[in-house]
Amino acid sequence: MTDVERLLTAELEDLGARAPHDPDLAASVRRRARRQAAVLASALAVLLLVAGGAVAATRLRPAAAPVASTPTTQPATGCPTPEPGTLPVWARAGFSSPNPGIPMVYSDRGLMLAILFGTPLTAPPAADHNNKILWVAKVGAEGAFSIDARLEGTDVRVRREVAPAPGPSIVDLPAAGCWHIDLRWGSYTDTISLPYAPG
Amino acid sequence: MEFSEYVAARGVALERFAYVLSGDAHLAQDLVQTALLKAYRRWRWVARAEHPDAYVRRIVTRSYLDWRRRRSSGEQPVSVLPDRAEPDLAEGVAERDRLRRALGALSPKQRAVLVLRHYEGLDDAAIAALLRCGEGSVRSHASRGVARLRASLDQTTSPGGPR
């Protein structure tokens, strides 16, 4: 082994000794697995509903008659359970640790991360904390940011101009339940589901 | 062995390996979680393997190489965070500072080969299997990598050379 290689070995050992450590690594991995499974399940559910709707429409269509109406597709039910996790690299600005211990929820396309500083989210707002959400966009952080929320199982809709751009906001919604939210910012759109507990 | 037991036993070593490989704390955590996630999904198979470490280490290494390849058209990453040495510090400290910088400037495969050889202690055959290349290629990457490190150290010890 040459002098350079000896120096290199010592340097690598030193570097390794300074590696960051996640004391709850196995749990972090399991959370990530659950999150990805939930996203996959949602995508599959939507696909099945769309496919099922198409099949139903085909079967219901009279042989020689024009289609009278377009079948509606109900969105997938169920809300993710916000859990702390590891922040993606693009959402770490301002955080001293990639594992801040704050519950978070990814949007369905993964373009937005909702970091829930006020948990649980409640309707009406809780007395001891507000419904503060930090919205972090993976792409296109510029432009007006609005949310169009629909309460699952109802026709209740709320539209809010949340901020000039994704960032911190307090999002109070009128009822408890699972809210399916269309996110719009700049030229981007995505969807996310957030649970609001009874206040 | 349960997944949790494996992570408890080998997690720190994997975190260290990923950090030595990437030189970036956040990336290292992503690499380890990505590798363990893949292992977790097929844990029964991985646990039965003779060397679960080899499987996980291979994923960490390939994920790192993929990451470097994706961003290769962009900026040069400062993959080793330098502890800046002041001019009046001992030559030994300055030398290690130069080594860290030179390490960060190696090609992804050169760095991977040197880390696998000098940190993980793998032989050329094992490295070749992990990287899916020939042993000659491993020796070539190692030789060129060491030569670049040596050149960097030699260059900076000459008068007028960069720090």
Average pLDDT of the residues in A88-108 = 85
| End-to-end Cα separation, chain B, in angstroms | 50
Residue A9 with chain B: CB contacts under 8 Å: 118-119
What pLDDT is attached to residue A69? 30
pLDDT bin (cut points 50, 70, 90) of residue A109 is confident
- Indicate the helix (H) or strand (E) that contains B108: helix B108-118
Least confident of A46-55, A144-153, B44-53, B81-90: B81-90
Alpha helices for B1-42 (secondary structure H):
3-22, 25-41
Residues paired with A188 in a beta bridge: A185
Find, in chain A, the residue whose alpha carbon is nearest to that of B93.
A11
Residue-wise pLDDT for B149-163, tens only, equals 998 887 655 444 443
pLDDT bin (cut points 50, 70, 90) of residue A50 is confident
Q: Are B105 and B137 in contact (CB under 8 A)?
A: no
Q: What sign has the CA pseudo-torsion A85, A87, A93, A97?
A: positive
What pLDDT is attached to residue B98? 80
What pLDDT is attached to residue B112? 96
CA distance B108 to chain A (A): 15
Residue-wise pLDDT for B46-98, tens only, equals 888 767 888 899 999 999 998 888 765 443 444 343 333 334 344 556 677 78
Which candidate, B139, B115, B144, places its Cα nearest to that of B128? B139
Average pLDDT of the residues in B28-39 = 91
Judge whether residue A185 has pLDDT over 60.
yes
CA distance B133 to chain A (A): 22
Q: Other C-beta atoms within 10 Å of A73: how many? A: 12
Q: Is the model more confident about A152 or about B97? A: A152
What pLDDT is attached to residue A59? 54
Residues of B in CB contact (< 8 Å) with A are 3-4, 7-8, 11-12, 15-20, 23, 25-30, 32-33, 36-37, 40-41, 80, 95-96, 99-100, 103, 114-115, 118-119, 146, 149-150, 153
Q: Is the model more confident about A127 or about A114? A: A114
| Average pLDDT, rounded, for chain B | 81
Residue B37 with chain A: CB contacts under 8 Å: 29, 32-33, 36
pLDDT above 90 coverage of chain B, percent: 49
pLDDT bin (cut points 50, 70, 90) of residue A35 is confident
pLDDT above 70 coverage of chain A, percent: 85
Q: Which pair of tokens denotes residue B71?
A: 């961003």
Residue-wise pLDDT for B12-22, tens only, equals 999 999 999 99
CA distance B118 to chain A (A): 5
Average pLDDT of the residues in A124-140 = 85
Contact: B19, A18; criterion CB under 8 Å: yes
- Phi and psi at residue A146, to the nearest 5°: -130, 155
Average pLDDT of the residues in A105-123 = 89
CA distance B132 to chain A (A): 23
CA distance B16 to chain A (A): 5
Q: How far apart are CA B25 and CA A88, in angstroms?
A: 12
Contact: B119, A16; criterion CB under 8 Å: yes
Average pLDDT of the residues in A174-183 = 92
Q: Is the model more confident about B131 or about A160? A: B131
Mutation to test the A interface, candidates B101, B119, B155, most A Cβ within 10 Å: B119
What pLDDT is attached to residue A31? 86
Judge whether residue B117 has pLDDT over 70.
yes
pLDDT bin (cut points 50, 70, 90) of residue B127 is very high
- Which pTM was predicted? 0.54
CA distance A161 to chain B (A): 33
What pLDDT is attached to residue B92? 59
Q: Is the model more confident about A143 or about A14? A: A14
Contact: B99, A12; criterion CB under 8 Å: no
What pLDDT is attached to residue A65? 34
Residue-wise pLDDT for A67-86, tens only, equals 333 222 333 456 888 988 88
Q: Is the model more confident about A36 or about A107? A: A107
pLDDT bin (cut points 50, 70, 90) of residue A66 is very low
Interface size A-B, in CB pairs within 8 Å, comes to 99
Which residue in this structure is represented by tokens 């373009």? A111
| Average pLDDT, rounded, for chain A | 80
Residue B96 with chain A: CB contacts under 8 Å: 7, 11, 14
Residues 6+ apart with CB under 8 A from A129: A118, A119
Give the full edge-to-edge strand order of the sheet including A168-170: A83-84, A103-106, A112-116, A132-137, A168-170
Contact: B115, A12; criterion CB under 8 Å: yes
- Indicate the helix (H) or strand (E) that contains A177: strand A177-185
